[in-house]
Structure 1
Amino acid sequence: MREKIMRNFIAQQVIFLVITTLLFNVSCQDEKKDNKQDSQTEWQDKSPKEKWDYTGNYQVTLPCIDCKGIIVKLELKEDGSYRIIKNYNENDNTPGEIKTEIGQFRWSENDSLIILNNEEFSISDNVLSWKNPNIERIETDSTKTYTLRKL
């Protein structure tokens, strides 16, 4: 009789522990989901300036009217300065030409665009998108956006 009481007592304790553990796990998962949703919402509310590590070197090759292509290298620095190098690849008749520009970039009012010398770049993770670059000898196409990739 005593053995039977002891087994019942142990069985009740095991059931109690299992139920308690399950309830604890469920409540922790709900809290993790809430925290994850909160952090995603906070991240989505941030401007691109706050979201992305935009400093660094970027590059793209643009189509050229009379050369093999225009290699554009852009460096954005933490102090707000930039350097852009445009290398007009040589063709059969003309040697390559390199143009360098330095200056300070700024952000648009809502921190969604980087602006350098009146040219606008939208930013996402390791990418700058450049609509209608104002560069001599480029084959212009108003529907295209040129993507500079972070090196």
Structure 2
Amino acid sequence: MQKLNTIIFLLLIVIVAGCKSTQQTREKETLTTTDNSKTSLDWDGVYVGTLPCADCPGIATEMELNKDQTFSLRETYMERDVAPRVSEGTFSWNKQGSTITLNSNGKEIASYLVGENTLIRLGMKGKRITGALADHYNLEKKQIKITGTRWKLTELRGQKVNHSSAFIVFSTENNRVYGNSGCNNFSGSFELKKGNQIGLSQLASTRMACPDMDSEQAFLSAMGMVDNYSISGGTLLMNKARMAPLARFEADFSEK
């Protein structure tokens, strides 16, 4: 009888250990698959706000987060700076996918909690800042529209464009579109329709002789074919029907 009880006791230990192991495995799987800011939010884009400053009225801040985990930060100390202080680098996520840490020139310069269309500046050791000014440490995501933004060409018909001066601007004033095709300036008109439909017309360009006229003509030809667009973060895709994007642009905030 004692031997039987011992066997039953050992079996119970094995069963309990197995259940615990299964539970731990499930918890681990849940931890790695649960949605978080990194996986479920459209976090890339431009964030703006005025952060508190110890010896000035505030720090006008503009930060762009890119999907390749690079960033560009522009900070202007109000009533002190003539030009913004620019920092660039990469950022990393914490294990929970909720917080990013900015790294520039090999140094960690700041951490932010990532929320829905919001970045919250964190204090020492990644802790939330408390007190009367706590709500002033937020940066809000800038909702970028196709109009009023300078869009820099980065890709044309699937081919990357490097060091190009080509850009396009859609102005609400008289529905005018203008820009540069790489060397020559161009202008025309556009019409926005429902469902992100768009049409460009009456495009005219200056006729200065340029080293790469083929690329310029390809760009203007593509713009004449566009009938719809999409914007994600700071990226504008110009398309024809459901074909592959004719051109890819990035929002350029370096020139206002």
Q: TM-score range by the shorter chain?
A: 0.5 to 0.7
Task: Return the structure number with greater helix share.
Answer: 1
Q: How does 1:109-120 map to 2 (within 5 A)?
A: 109-117=95-103, 118=108, 119-120=110-111
Q: How does 1:53-92 map to 2 (within 5 A)?
A: 53-90=42-79
Task: Return the structure number with greater strand share.
Answer: 2
Q: Do 1:107 and 1:114's aligned partners in 2 also have CA atoms closer than 8 Å?
A: yes
Q: CA RMSD in A?
A: 2.4
Q: Do 2:44 and 2:66's aligned partners in 1 also have CA atoms closer than 8 Å?
A: yes
SS at match of 1:115: strand
Tell me how far 1:110 sits from its aligned partner: 2.2
Taking CA–CA contacts closer than 8 Å with sequence separation of 6 or more, which of the two structures ends up with the larger relative contact order?
Answer: 1
State the match for 2:123 in structure 1.
132
Distance 1:89 1:96, change over 3 A: farther
Cα deviations by residue, 1:62-108 (Å, 9 ceiling, x for unpaired): 22233332101110011111000101122xxx553521000011111
Amino acid at match of 2:36: S
Q: Do 1:83 and 1:103's aligned partners in 2 also have CA atoms closer than 8 Å?
A: yes
Tell me how far 1:115 sits from its aligned partner: 1.1
State the match for 2:141 in structure 1.
150
Structure 2 Cα separation of the partners of residues 63 and 114 of structure 1? 20
Distance 1:95 1:80, change over 3 A: closer
How many residue pairs get matched? 98
State the match for 2:34 in structure 1.
45
State the match for 2:92 in structure 1.
106
- Which of 61, 78, 96 is the matching residue for 2:82? 96
Q: Do 1:89 and 1:97's aligned partners in 2 also have CA atoms closer than 8 Å?
A: no
Tell me how far 1:124 sits from its aligned partner: 1.4
Amino acid at match of 2:138: T
- Which of 101, 114, 119 is the matching residue for 1:123? 114
Amino acid at match of 2:82: G
Distance 1:110 1:64, change over 3 A: closer
* TM-score of the superposed pair, with normalisation by structure 1: 0.57
Tell me how far 1:60 sits from its aligned partner: 1.5
Structure 2 Cα separation of the partners of residues 150 and 115 of structure 1? 17
Cα deviations by residue, 1:30-49 (Å, 9 ceiling, x for unpaired): xxxxxxxxxxxxxx931210
- Unaligned residue ranges in structure 2 (runs of 5+): 1-32, 143-256
State the match for 1:27 in structure 2.
none
Structure 2 Cα separation of the partners of residues 81 and 109 of structure 1? 18
Distance 1:148 1:95, change over 3 A: closer
- Unaligned residue ranges in structure 1 (runs of 5+): 1-43, 134-141
